Amino acid sequence: MQRELTQKLHPDYVKASRLSSILFHIVTLLLVSGWLVFALWKDWTLVPVWIAYGILLVSFVLFTWIVPIYEFRSFSFEVFEEEIEIQSGIIFRSNILIPMVRVQHVEVGSGPIMRKYKLASVNVVTAATKHEIKGVHQQAAEELKQHIGELAKVDEQHD
């Protein structure tokens, strides 16, 4: 089994993940604040609002400052001639082997935040599921897509 390519998340993935988390928490903060205004207007108890603010604060710290760093450290992938290995997970580690003969197609995609940092995700699609290799530089993602596609075609010809 010859090693073709070993990679981890791009360092800018941490910034993109943090920005995404900040935007999510701003929207959630606005919703909870709207709930506060409505509760004050209706003279309801404010206990659920304060609980929501507490959960939002813990979630903000966890998903903006802690999780992106550990996700960056724990995610990696390797592309071999006959398979792709993806390792991920912070608490529960996952190690997935995808045989090239099972690869149906490969997709590259990125949302607005990922594009801001010139990052993309490579989705390796099999009959059973879709496996995501996220946080790859856009140019490297296109090259990876082509590389996996070529390896998958070569394996299919040998069947």
pLDDT, tens digit only, all 159 positions of the chain: 454 556 899 999 999 999 999 999 999 999 999 999 999 999 999 999 999 999 999 999 999 999 999 999 999 999 999 999 999 999 999 999 999 999 999 999 999 999 999 999 999 999 889 999 999 999 999 999 999 999 988 444 444
The residues near 136 (Cβ < 8 Å, ≥ 6 apart) are 7, 9, 10, 119, 120, 121, 122, 144
Dihedrals φ, ψ of 127, to 5°? -65, -30
Report the amino acid identity of residue 117: Y
Give CA–CA dist 137/122, Å, rounded. 10
Contact between 70 and 93 under an 8 Å Cβ cutoff? The reply is no
Whole-prediction pTM: 0.84
Report the amino acid identity of residue 41: W
- On the CB side of 141, CA atoms within 13 Å amount to 23
CATH number of 3-9+76-157: 2.30.29.30
**Torsion on CA atoms 116, 87, 25, 66, rounded to nearest 10:** -110
* CA-closest candidate to residue 25, choices 50, 68, 57: 57
Domain range summary for the chain, segments of one domain joined by +: 3-9+76-157, 12-71
